[in-house]
A = this chain, B = another copy of it.
Amino acid sequence: MPKISQEIKNTMAKTKIIPVATASKDGMPNVIPFAFVKCYDDETLVLADNFMQKSMKNLEENPFVSICVWDTEGNQSFQIKGKAAVETEGKVFNETVAWVKEAMPQLSPKSAILVKISNIYICQPGPDLGKEL
């Protein structure tokens, strides 16, 4: 199982707005900007669902997610793919609500999305472009 390295964490931290892509079962892609994406552990991301509409419908029929992060100054970029599980109660959900409300008290996340990482790819131009980590 691929691990989220410190280098990837640093690149995620530089990407203030992280695009999250889903697709319908018949393959129509959908990408939206997310403010609340972080590592849950070294093999899992957590996303806070504050405003998802079509993306959530997609996840209900097709649980796969792709995100990309970049640091243009450091010339680093990664694509992370995984399978999502939507949590609307319990520990992860409660932690996600607390995380969001600490930053933006006016928000009320509808769910927490745990993404178990299946693949990480190098995205920056260069000899390693496309390489799977």
Contact = CB atoms under 8 A, between A and B. Distances in A.
Contact of A19 (B21, B53, B72): B21
A72 B17 contact: yes
Interface bracket on A = 35 or more
A65 interface: yes
A41 to B, nearest CB: 22
B27 A79 contact: no
Nearest to A34: B68
A82 to B, nearest CB: 11
A120 interface: no
5 contacts: A19-B68, A20-B31, A23-B27, A25-B27, A27-B64
Interface of A: 16-17, 19-33, 50-51, 53-54, 62, 64-68, 70, 72, 77, 79, 81, 121, 123, 125, 129-130
